[in-house]
Amino acid sequence: MRLTERPAWRALAALAAQPLPHLRELVHEPGRGDYARLSAAGIELDFTRQRINRAVHDALLALAQDAGIEAQRDAMLAGEPVNATEGRAVLHVALRGGADAHPPWGSQLAVEIDAELARACDFADAVREGRVRGFGGAPIRHVVSLGIGGSDLGPRMACEALAAHASDAVRLHFVSNPDPAQLYAVLRQADPATTLFFVSSKTFTTHDTLINAASARQWLLDHGCPAQQVPAQFAAITANAARAVAEGYLPQQVFRFWDWVGGRYSLWSAIGLPVMIAAGPHQFRALLDGAHAMDTHFRNAPLARNLPVAMALCGIWNRNFLGAPTQLVAPYAAPLAKLPAYLQQQDMESCGKRVDASGRVVDHATGAIVWGGLGLDGQHAYFQLLHQGTHLVPADLIGTRRCEVPLPQARTHHQLVLANLLAQASALSCGRTQDETLIALSAAGLPPREAARLAPHRTFPGNVPVSLLWLDTLDAASLGALIALYEHKVFVQAAIWGIHAYDQWGVELGKAIASDMQACLARCEVPKEMDPVAAATLASLVG
Ligand code: F6P
């Protein structure tokens, strides 16, 4: 039976067919906070401004129950090959499992994971303490992370989020793109004699990364590094350790993770080495512990009290029953500026699927377009569309209750940030009616005719679904819990949609064509069999 034919789905469709009261009414629902405010692992989720009432909430929970979420979750946590098209387990949670007495994935694997984490942490300490030296004998001062997608977005985001803990001894740089401008911009700031390169690639076959690694090697050679000393200024982070060693990376500087860690879920592995160096191994372990706390909550909490389940169900309601095509993530904490970009890969590469697990094309919407940026900057850029445009854009607003920036006026700054977060949550959800607008314009002294003329342009329809996510303060543990919360939200949404969340076949066609195009450009050739449009473009480039 197709998902859309299931009674639980049809019950929701029936509820969606009867328009709910406006959020400015729904926020007065008795006992709303009892089911729509949840907290766990240091995160508070407030979805009282989502366009649901208790009846919809109960029907959404019934959908989750019907999808067998708990059984699917337990299968993943038990290490079953839930990544069915690649025949792999999905066990990024094992990377933060800590020394649990009896992890479901087996104590031998836990020992291996802990050992590899210790290796990476020890290496990070060695770099931070100046015990890793460049070809001139001076301590490493620059670490350049070469990687793309999940091998870049996680470390880059976490290093910025934890910048308050940044090491003064070592500067972190990130290069993801094969455009030489990005590598050049970093190399201009670095000193060849004190620069260490991380080549981060799960497969160790990603051309975008390997071309940067080759140019980095040439840069060292061009700047006086003896050929035999080049490998000492590289470390490889990969699930393909054999290939890295075969390509000349020093085995003691090859850090491995496993094929059951998806690229977009690999921050918790040695891919997080830039974070271990920038913020320190202690902070990285706190990140893992925060994620572990959310894992434990996800594993144990009943569906009705489960934060990832609640977020996923709001997402399903907005996507499938309110028809919202996108999901905004707007942090009101500046160090989280890169979180939306990280969540784009996590969610869209997981849920951007059109075929269900049985191979049938789905007859319902799946993954939303995830986008966003810092909320306060967005208010001065694109929030106009959220308030008065023609798209319904559900918004996750992320705030911290406390701000620990050591500036005298930090508290006043933070109050302004909080005031804007609260204002946007209220304005987006409750809006301002035309009558209220007329009153406001008249109170501002506008003559009645002018007020009547302007009122339609200054009315706020509201009814935009908003979730608030509160961290007590932004630290490694709360960051870990927040990321894990979104990871498990993605899992639950995909499980309900019945799609495979842990493969990404959609990236392979572009890669194959790019490889052919690269060969044509290198040979200045335009193949006869190429379609005329592509041929014309290629011809314009090969001269
Ligand atoms: O092409 C998509 C992708 O495979 C992502 O899933 C992955 O994070 C990225 O490319 C980088 O892959 P790798 O870490 O193997 O270089």
Does residue 206 fall inside a structural domain? yes
Domain extent, residue 322, equals: 3-24+35-82+286-431+464-497
Residues 250 and 229 in one domain: yes
Is the Cα torsion angle 515, 518, 522, 524 positive or negative in sign?
positive
Tally the domains of the chain.
Answer: 4
pLDDT digits (tens, 9 = 90+) for 92-127: 999 998 656 678 888 899 999 999 999 999 999 999
- The reply to whether ligand 1 has any atom less than 6 angstroms from the CB of 83 is no
Nearest atom in ligand 1 to the alpha carbon of residue 264 is: 8
Residues 380 and 294 in one domain: yes
Residues 39 and 175 in one domain: no
- The reply to whether ligand 1 has any atom less than 6 angstroms from the CB of 379 is no
Nearest atom in ligand 1 to the alpha carbon of residue 147 is: 16
Nearest atom in ligand 1 to the alpha carbon of residue 238 is: 14
Q: Are 51 and 474 in contact (CB under 8 A)?
A: no
Does residue 207 fall inside a structural domain? yes
Separation CA 446–CA 452 (nearest Å): 9
The CATH number of residue 103's host domain is: 3.40.50.10490
Does residue 87 fall inside a structural domain? no
Tally of CA atoms within 13 A in the half-sphere of 245 that contains its CB: 9
- The reply to whether ligand 1 has any atom less than 6 angstroms from the CB of 504 is yes
Residues 368 and 486 in one domain: yes
Does residue 124 fall inside a structural domain? yes
* Residue keyed to tokens 């003691």: 252
Query: Which of 86, 151, 343 to probe ligand 1 with, by most ligand atoms within 8 A of CB?
Result: 151
Task: Show which of 252, 283, 314 is a domain's final residue.
Answer: 283
Catalytic residue list: 349, 380, 511
The reported pLDDT for the residue numbered 170 is: 97
**What is the Å distance from ligand 1's center to 203 Cα?**
7
Does residue 419 fall inside a structural domain? yes
**What is the Å distance from ligand 1's center to 507 Cα?**
9
Look at ligand 1, atom 10, and give the residue with the nearest C-alpha. Answer: 149
Tens-level pLDDT at each residue, the chain (543 residues): 999 999 999 999 999 999 899 999 999 999 999 999 999 999 999 999 999 999 999 999 999 999 999 999 999 999 999 999 999 999 999 999 865 667 888 889 999 999 999 999 999 999 999 999 999 999 999 999 999 999 999 999 999 999 998 988 999 999 999 999 999 999 999 999 999 999 999 999 999 999 999 999 999 999 999 999 999 999 999 999 999 999 999 999 999 999 999 999 999 999 999 999 999 999 999 999 999 999 999 999 999 999 999 999 999 999 999 999 999 999 999 999 999 999 999 999 999 999 999 999 999 999 999 999 999 999 999 999 999 999 999 999 999 999 999 999 999 999 999 999 999 999 999 999 999 999 999 999 999 999 999 999 999 999 999 999 999 999 999 999 999 999 999 999 999 999 999 999 999 999 999 999 999 999 999 999 999 999 999 999 997
Residues 167 and 229 in one domain: yes
Does residue 514 fall inside a structural domain? yes
Query: Which of 86, 145, 148 to probe ligand 1 with, by most ligand atoms within 8 A of CB?
Result: 148
371 Ramachandran zone, left/alpha/beta (phi>0; psi -120 to 50): beta
Query: Which of 146, 200, 202 to probe ligand 1 with, by most ligand atoms within 8 A of CB?
Result: 202
Neighbours of 365 (CB within 10 A): 16
**What is the Å distance from ligand 1's center to 209 Cα?**
10
The reported pLDDT for the residue numbered 100 is: 66
The reported pLDDT for the residue numbered 97 is: 80
Does residue 30 fall inside a structural domain? no
Residues 426 and 436 in one domain: no
Separation CA 312–CA 300 (nearest Å): 17
Residues 441 and 424 in one domain: no
Q: Are 116 and 270 in contact (CB under 8 A)?
A: yes
Task: Show which of 283, 301, 316 is a domain's final residue.
Answer: 283
Residues 218 and 340 in one domain: no
Does residue 29 fall inside a structural domain? no
Residues 215 and 159 in one domain: yes
235-249 core/surface letters (b: 16 or more CB in 10 A; e: else)? bbbbbbbebbeebeb
- The reply to whether ligand 1 has any atom less than 6 angstroms from the CB of 206 is yes
For residue 57, the SS3 value is: helix
Residues 42 and 98 in one domain: no
Task: Show which of 283, 307, 328 is a domain's final residue.
Answer: 283
Residues 470 and 484 in one domain: yes
Residues 117 and 221 in one domain: yes
